[in-house]
Amino acid sequence: MSLNGEADSSGVFVSFDVLPNWDMSRAEAGLAVFKKQCGLNRVPALQPLCAEAEKSTEAKVFFETYFRPFMLSEKGESEGLMTGYYEPLLHGSNRQSEAYPYPLYAPPKDLLRVELASLYPDLTHRYLRGRAEGNRVVPYPSRAQINAGDVDARPLCYVSSDIDRFFLHVQGSGRVLLDDNTTLYVGHTDRNGHPYHSIGKLMVEEGLIPKAEISLQTIRTYLRSHPAEKKRILESNPSYIFFGLRTQGATGTLGAELTPMHSVAVDRTRIPLGYPVYVDAVEPLGGKPLQLLAMAQDTGSAIKGQVRADLFWGYGEHAEAEAGRMKSPLRLWLLVPKAE
């Protein structure tokens, strides 16, 4: 099924009765995020439903009237993977020093973004990055090369920890508490174009952390306790993120401020941004069922595939604890407007 020329989804239409624990409370929470998103006017295919949403007094009736659940599958498999992310807090300064040595860069002046979708439609939402060398466009430097200084970019600020900076790259948005007690909101603006390589997968393959124990927390603990290995492990992921300043908390690719537990990152080539999705997963700490209605408002370089989502847990220690450990089986339903 092709949606708006943006995403190509496979699966089967089902009734709302199939959605586990689909009830009024879940519908109401999802409708509130939907209405908030409507104000951005970023999803033309859903905009006609915004007026109906504002008039709606029964959230469950609204979704059941205007949408059809489409159970997503990947190569015939309906079970995928749900991970989590959060908004981290880093400590930083406007001045580089021994205490704050690590820059957060704005997009480089020489970064080229090559868009070929007009000639090659299968490259929609896939952008090549590079820089010019003479009359050629060559790949932009990798994480290791950028860390060594091969970058023409302005630092937004400097932070105290390269480990925390790395996880900010993975999360995409965060806050930096500066040494003058002001707070910067920063968010993903561009990237160097190199593929994302999971350092967790590398550490499992090398026997550094057992697969059953891998999480943000165990990775961070290992890197802090093995400083001689830190640089090699972090730079095994060549992907590098460039940031911009924001006026609000964590903001997704759609431009909406993310709502904890009701915003997810998806693969936009498979699920269109802005569409509602219903999630059936398991909480990482309590082991309880996690069933909720969310909006596909963000993307991530590690989020690939159709039955794949990354749940935004919010800001703070609890959000970090849950998100960092979340690796749950997932069933996912895309709510498709009945006009589609």
Residue 11: what pLDDT? 85
Burial of 264 (0-12, 13-18, 19+ CB in 10 A): buried
Q: Does the pLDDT value for residue 8 go beyond 70?
A: no
Q: Does the pLDDT value for residue 126 go beyond 70?
A: no
Class of domain 97-246: mainly beta
How far apart are the C-alpha atoms of 309 and 334, rounded to whole Å?
A: 12
Mean pLDDT of the region 244-263: 93
pLDDT tier at 125 (50, 70, 90 boundaries)? low
Q: What is the DSSP letter of 316?
A: S
**Which of 3-17, 98-112, 129-143 comes out lowest in average pLDDT?**
3-17
Mean pLDDT of the region 68-87: 94
Residue 2: what pLDDT? 61
Q: Does the pLDDT value for residue 127 go beyond 80?
A: no
Residues 29-55: tens digit of each pLDDT: 999 999 999 988 899 999 999 999 999
Domain ranges of the chain: 2-85+253-337, 97-246
Q: Does the pLDDT value for residue 25 go beyond 90?
A: no
* Residues above pLDDT 70, as percent of the chain: 94
Decide if 70 contacts 335 (C-beta within 8 A).
yes
What's the 3-state SS for 153-195? Answer: CCEEEEECCHHHHHHHHHHCEEEEEECCCCEEEEEEEEECCCC
Cα angle 142-147-152, degrees, rounded to a multiple of 5: 80
Decide if 261 contacts 314 (C-beta within 8 A).
yes
Tokens describing residue 44: 């033309």
How far apart are the C-alpha atoms of 94 and 86, rounded to whole Å?
A: 24
Residues 284-336: tens digit of each pLDDT: 988 899 999 999 999 988 899 999 999 999 998 899 999 999 999 999 999 99
How far apart are the C-alpha atoms of 166 and 88, rounded to whole Å?
A: 11
Is the torsion defined by CA of 301, 7, 296, 291 positive or negative? negative
Question: Which residues, listed in sequence order, are joined to residue 7 by a DSSP beta bridge?
Answer: 3
Q: Does the pLDDT value for residue 1 go beyond 80?
A: no
Question: 271-274, long-range: CB within 8 Å, 24+ apart, which pairs?
Answer: 271/7, 271/9, 271/72, 271/296, 271/306, 271/334, 272/3, 272/4, 272/6, 272/7, 272/43, 272/45, 272/296, 273/6, 273/42, 273/43, 273/297, 273/299, 274/37, 274/42, 274/43, 274/45, 274/46
Q: Does the pLDDT value for residue 120 go beyond 80?
A: no
Q: Does the pLDDT value for residue 116 go beyond 80?
A: no
Angle between helices 59-66 and 24-38 (to 10 degrees): 70
Question: Which residues, listed in sequence order, are joined to residue 257 by a DSSP beta bridge?
Answer: 251
Tokens describing residue 310: 């990354």
Architecture of domain 2-85+253-337: Beta Barrel (2.40)
DSSP 266-288: --TTTS-TT-EEEEEEE-TTT--
Residues 201-217: tens digit of each pLDDT: 999 999 999 999 999 99
Mean pLDDT of the region 71-100: 95
Q: Does the pLDDT value for residue 62 go beyond 70?
A: yes
How far apart are the C-alpha atoms of 182 and 53, rounded to whole Å?
A: 38
Mean pLDDT of the region 96-118: 91
- Count how many Cα atoms sit within 13 Å of the Cα of residue 276 in the half-sphere of its side chain: 30
Residue 302: what pLDDT? 84
Q: For the chain, what is the mean pLDDT?
A: 92
Residue 340: what pLDDT? 59
Mean pLDDT of the region 174-199: 95
pLDDT tier at 170 (50, 70, 90 boundaries)? very high
How far apart are the C-alpha atoms of 173 and 252, rounded to whole Å?
A: 8
Residues 149-168: tens digit of each pLDDT: 999 999 999 999 999 999 99
Residues 220-229: tens digit of each pLDDT: 999 999 999 9
Residue 140 host element (H or E): none
How far apart are the C-alpha atoms of 269 and 331, rounded to whole Å?
A: 18
pLDDT tier at 57 (50, 70, 90 boundaries)? confident
Q: Give me the amino acid identity at 38.
A: C
